[in-house]
């Protein structure tokens, strides 16, 4: 006799758990473990090296300036944006076009948003390795001054995870949009991550932007998240830029949580709306081989 758990909570959990397992198999199994480990180290270091070289040329190697840790850490944590947000939405493309399994996943008793969020976990783990490697490299070789005894690690972890949850929810919105796109969906994730890079204060303070563009940055929870992560790691150096100077760490966190909650509601609403529309248009399992 078969035993099946069908209550909604267990469906939600198993969708997330299995998608996490699947995502990890996909992300980690494309190469042998040694090659995968080398790739995981080299990729973030290469991206950091490009930034450092550009900075060095422009500032005549002024690594003492507070703008350097601002840029370096902002860029390091921004890796989460690309990995988590586009990772979740990429699952739609992967299942539809690459593995052609979308219709079987969708018609299974799966909680679809949980499934997509689960598919992003592997990318989160890979991003975490990249961020850790990049920051360690910065501390060891580029004079990024982080005093572990001064860091409130509990608050840092809480902020980090809140931000990752916020990015996952933004990824879910993007996944909903992907369901509606057919031919031009491959570049959407990267385009959105690229656009947010400009407006989130990742590599320069918002004052650098024209005044009419700044409100976009202030509406983005990523802006507050990056600022808080920088402050928690390097303290006053990060808060020496005027953009968010008037806010305390706690205030920044509360803004982050409020915006995350708003994005959560918006994400589920937009996702369900897109899913409904995709079903009406017959796009859920469309394979274009584009």
Partner 1 sequence: MNFAIETNHLSRIYKIRNNKKGNAKELVALQDVSLEVHPGELFGLLGPNGAGKTTLIKILTTLLAPTSGTAFVCGYDVVKEAHKIRPIINMVSGGESSGYGLLTVRENLWMFAQFYGLSSKEANQRILQLLEVVGLADRINTKSSDLSTGLRQKMNIVRGFLTDPQVLFLDEPTLGLDVSASRDVRRFIRQWLDEHPERTILLTTHYMAEAEELCDRVAIINQGRVLACDTPASLKHRLQRQAIYHLEISQVNHHYSDDLKTIQGVREFVLRPRDGYTVLELILDRDETLAAVVNSLTENQGRIINLQKREPTLEDVFVDLVGKSMEDVERGNNGVNHSES
Give the binding-site size for partner 1 (rule: CB under 8 A).
33
How far, in Å, CA of 139 to CA of 136, rounded? 5
Q: Which of 107, 240, 248, 258 binds partner 1 (CB under 8 A)?
A: 107
Give min distance, CB of 281 to partner 1, in A. 8
Burial label for 13, CB within 10 Å (0-12, 13-18, 19+), is: middle
Residue 233: exposure state from Cβ atoms within 10 A (0-12, 13-18, ≥19)? buried
Least distance CB 93 / partner 1 (angstroms) = 14
Does the protein bind partner 1 through residue 25 (CB under 8 A)?
A: yes
Nearest approach, Cβ of residue 182 and partner 1 (Å): 11
Backbone angles phi, psi at 254, to 5 degrees: -65, -40
Phi-psi region of 181 (alpha: psi -120 to 50; beta: other; left: phi over 0): beta
93-117 burial by CB neighbour count: b if 16+ within 10 A, else e? bbbbbeeeebeebbeeebbbbbbbb
Toward partner 1, which CB reaches closer, 1 or 57? 1
CA proximity to 116, closest of 161, 157, 160, 177: 177
Contacting range for partner 1; rule: CB under 8 A; set: 12-20, 69-77, 130-138, 246-254: 12-20
106 binds partner 1 (CB under 8 A): yes
105 binds partner 1 (CB under 8 A): yes
Angle among Cα 98, 188, 230 to the nearest 5 degrees reads 115
29 binds partner 1 (CB under 8 A): yes
Phi, psi of 186 (to 5 degrees): -65, -35
**Least CB distance from residue 176 to partner 1, whole Å?**
16
219 counts as binding partner 1 under rule CB under 8 A: no
Q: Which window, 26-34, 66-74, 230-238, 263-271, contacts partner 1 (CB under 8 A)?
A: 26-34
127-186 residues in contact with partner 1 (CB under 8 A) are none
By CB under 8 A, name the one of 12, 13, 18, 188 that touches partner 1: 18
Rounded to the nearest angstrom, the gap between the alpha carbon of residue 102 and the centroid of all alpha carbons in its chain is 23
Range 223-282, binding partner 1 (CB under 8 A): 276, 279-280, 282
Min dist CB 101 to partner 1, Å, is 5
CA-based nearest residue to 170, from 122, 117, 225: 117
- Whichever of 99 and 290 has its CB closer to partner 1, that residue is 99
DSSP string for residues in 132-152: HHHHHHHHHHS-----GGGS-
Which one of residues 16, 20, 22, 114 is an interface residue with partner 1 (CB under 8 A)?
22
Question: Could you tell me the smallest distance in angstroms from the CB atom of residue 285 to partner 1?
Answer: 6
- Out of 91, 110, 167, 222, the residue judged to bind partner 1 by CB under 8 A: 110
* Separation of first and last alpha carbons in the chain: 45
For 71, the token pair is 């840029």
Which residues, numbered 30-49, are part of the site for partner 1 (CB under 8 A)? 30
Contacts with partner 1 by CB under 8 A lie at 2-6, 10-11, 14-15, 18, 21-22, 25-26, 29-30, 99-101, 103-110, 276, 279-280, 282, 284-285
């Amino acid at each position: 006799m078969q035993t099946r758990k069908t209550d909604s909570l267990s469906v939600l959990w198993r969708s997330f758990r299995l998608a996490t397992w699947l995502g990890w198999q996909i992300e980690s199994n494309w190469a042998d473990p040694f090659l995968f480990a080398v790739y995981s180290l080299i990729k973030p270091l290469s991206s950091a090296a490009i930034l450092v070289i550009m900075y060095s040329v422009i500032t005549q190697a002024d690594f003492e300036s507070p703008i350097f840790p601002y840029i370096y850490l902002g860029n390091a944590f921004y890796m989460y944006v690309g990995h988590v947000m586009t990772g979740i939405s990429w699952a739609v493309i992967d299942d539809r076009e690459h593995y052609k399994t979308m219709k079987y996943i969708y018609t299974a008793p799966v909680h679809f948003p949980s499934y997509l969020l689960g598919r992003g976990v592997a990318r989160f783990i890979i991003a975490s390795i990249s961020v850790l490697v990049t920051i360690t490299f910065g501390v060891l070789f580029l004079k990024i001054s982080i005093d572990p005894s001064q860091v409130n690690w509990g608050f840092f972890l809480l902020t980090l995870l809140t931000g990752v949850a916020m990015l996952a929810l933004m990824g879910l919105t993007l996944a909903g949009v992907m369901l509606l796109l057919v031919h031009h969906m491959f570049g959407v994730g990267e385009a959105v991550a690229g656009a947010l890079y400009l407006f989130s204060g990742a590599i320069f303070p918002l004052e650098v932007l024209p005044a009419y563009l700044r409100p976009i940055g202030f509406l983005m929870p990523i802006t507050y998240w990056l600022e808080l992560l920088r402050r928690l790691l390097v303290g006053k150096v990060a808060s020496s830029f005027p953009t968010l100077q008037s806010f305390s760490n706690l205030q920044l966190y509360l803004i982050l949580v409020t915006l995350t909650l708003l994005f959560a509601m918006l994400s589920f609403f937009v996702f369900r709306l897109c899913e409904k529309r995709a079903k009406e248009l017959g796009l859920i399992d469309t394979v274009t081989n584009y």
